[in-house]
């Protein structure tokens, strides 16, 4: 099945279109494009314990709660519905769509953190998911979290030691004082997001997935992140970026997937897809 999808991409010319935008770095010396992620008719369903699907108003919901008749049952949320695409080495792909359209869920599935209900995800190399909520520990200092995050990404202690200064410098955490030795809970949300991005960006990734991180930093940091993403792509990786900030997507991505209600509505060059999205959402 994966071969069929690859054949189709080659026939559609989706591959060539993306190449024209991204330049030539995704091709080998022989000119073949190297796929890094293949999503083949992916369906993701969350199962949540709860009462039956209730119709009606907030008052009805409240009265159900007060009656304490919590009928046992499993609610299903079909968050991703039959998504198919092929990502290639050197591409930077934006994921857009309204709240709850399935962007984060799709990334988690690509990272192997969620099982697929139907369909399959094939990846070349280990995808790393860098979310704004990536699991660093709030009670630990920034310093400790750099080590923790590095280890969690599979870096050795030696590699972390070598790159420690770069990570801290890149994050800019210490620009306004010695914050790196303070617990992360004392950081603003922007500072925490910068540190997370800096830790993840310290490693060369096969597939790096970033959930909203760019939208949180200030403009100066966003510029630095964009430059680093370009470097990561040059080093043969594939970058996925989920963001509600169309400008971040335009500045960083050459291809965009637009999800709505779990379905892939559009997949194409950034300009085309963002234009259609802005037309639809009036943004």
Ligand X SMILES: Nc1ncnc2c1ncn2[C@@H]1O[C@H](COP(=O)(O)OP(=O)(O)OP(=O)(O)O)[C@@H](O)[C@H]1O
Q: Which residue has the tokens 């030795």?
A: 181
Measured from the CB of residue 24, what is the shortest distance to ligand X in angstroms?
Answer: 32
Rounded least distance, CB 213 to ligand X, Å: 13
For ligand X, the closer of residues 15 and 80 by Cβ is: 80
Residue (of 231, 177, 158, 170) closest to 195 by Cα position: 170
- Of the candidate residues 22, 26, 105, 145, the single one contacting ligand X (CB under 6 A): 105
Indicate whether 77 belongs to the interface with ligand X (CB under 6 A). Answer: yes
Under the criterion CB under 6 A, does residue 99 sit at the interface with ligand X?
yes
Min dist CB 169 to ligand X, Å, is 30
Return the number of the residue (9 or 37) whose C-beta is nearest ligand X.
37
Task: Answer yes or no whether residue 101 interacts with ligand X by CB under 6 A.
Answer: yes
Q: Is the CB of 75 or the CB of 220 nearer to ligand X?
A: 75
Per CB under 6 A, does 48 bind ligand X?
Answer: yes
Of the pair 207, 209, the CB lying nearest ligand X is at 209
How many Cα atoms sit within 13 Å of 84 on the Cβ side? 14
Q: Does 58 bind ligand X (CB under 6 A)?
A: no
Is residue 127 within the footprint of ligand X (CB under 6 A)?
no
Burial class (CB in 10 A: 0-12, 13-18, 19+), 175: exposed
Question: Number of residues in contact with ligand X, rule: CB under 6 A?
Answer: 12
Q: Does 142 contact ligand X by CB under 6 A? A: no
Instruction: Choose the stretch contacting ligand X; rule: CB under 6 A; options: 103-111, 119-127, 135-143, 188-196.
Output: 103-111
Q: State how far the Cα of 38 lies from the Cα of 206, in Å rounded to an integer.
A: 14
The span from the CA of 85 to the CA of 259, in Å, is 12
Q: Which stretch binds ligand X (CB under 6 A): 58-66, 95-103, 158-166, 186-194?
A: 95-103
Cα–Cα distance for residue pair 125/111, rounded to 1 Å: 10
The answer to whether the CB of 213 falls within 8 A of the CB of 149 is no
| Minimal distance, residue 126 CB to ligand X, in Å | 22
Query: Which ranges in the chain belong to alpha helices (H)?
Result: 2-12, 14-22, 58-67, 103-110, 142-152, 157-171, 189-201, 213-216, 219-234, 246-252, 270-281
38 vs 259, beta carbon nearer ligand X: 259
CB of 25 to ligand X, least distance (A): 29
**What residue has token string 């200030």?**
218
Looking only at residues 17 through 46 of this chain, which bind ligand X when binding is defined by CB under 6 A?
46
Return d(Cα 87, Cα 207) in angstroms, integer.
Answer: 10
Going by the DSSP 8-state scheme, the letter that residue 177 receives in this structure is: S
Taking contact as CB under 6 A, which single stretch among the options 13-21, 100-108, 144-152, 193-201 is the one that binds ligand X? Answer: 100-108
Asked if residues 187 and 139 have their Cβ atoms less than 8 Å apart, the reply is no
Q: Which residues bind ligand X (CB under 6 A)?
A: 46, 48, 77, 79, 97, 99-105
């Amino acid at each position: 099945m994966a071969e069929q999808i690859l054949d189709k991409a080659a026939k559609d010319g989706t591959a060539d279109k993306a190449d024209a935008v991204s330049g030539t770095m995704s091709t080998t010396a022989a000119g073949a494009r190297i796929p890094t992620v293949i999503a083949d008719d992916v369906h993701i369903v969350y199962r949540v314990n709860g009462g039956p699907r209730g119709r009606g108003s907030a008052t009805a919901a409240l009265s159900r709660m007060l009656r304490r008749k919590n009928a046992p049952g499993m609610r299903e949320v079909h968050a991703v519905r039959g998504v198919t695409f092929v990502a290639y080495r050197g591409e930077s792909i934006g994921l857009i769509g309204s709240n709850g359209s399935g962007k984060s869920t799709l990334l988690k599935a690509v990272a192997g953190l969620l099982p697929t209900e139907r369909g399959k995800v094939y990846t070349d190399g280990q995808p790393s998911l860098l979310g704004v909520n990536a699991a660093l520990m709030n009670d630990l200092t920034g310093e400790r979290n750099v080590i923790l995050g590095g280890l969690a990404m599979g870096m050795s202690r030696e590699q972390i030691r070598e790159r420690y200064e770069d990570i801290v410098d890149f994050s800019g955490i210490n620009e306004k004082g010695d914050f790196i030795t303070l617990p992360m809970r004392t950081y603003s949300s922007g500072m925490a997001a910068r540190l997370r991005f800096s830790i993840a960006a310290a490693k060369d990734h096969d597939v790096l997935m970033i959930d909203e991180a760019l939208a949180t930093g200030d403009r100066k940091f966003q510029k630095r992140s964009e430059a680093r993403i370009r470097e990561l792509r040059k080093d043969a990786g594939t970058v996925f970026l989920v963001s509600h900030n169309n400008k971040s997507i335009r500045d960083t991505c050459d291809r965009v997937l637009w999800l709505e209600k779990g379905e892939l509505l559009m997949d194409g060059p950034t300009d085309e897809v963002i234009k259609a999205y802005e037309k639809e959402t009036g943004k």
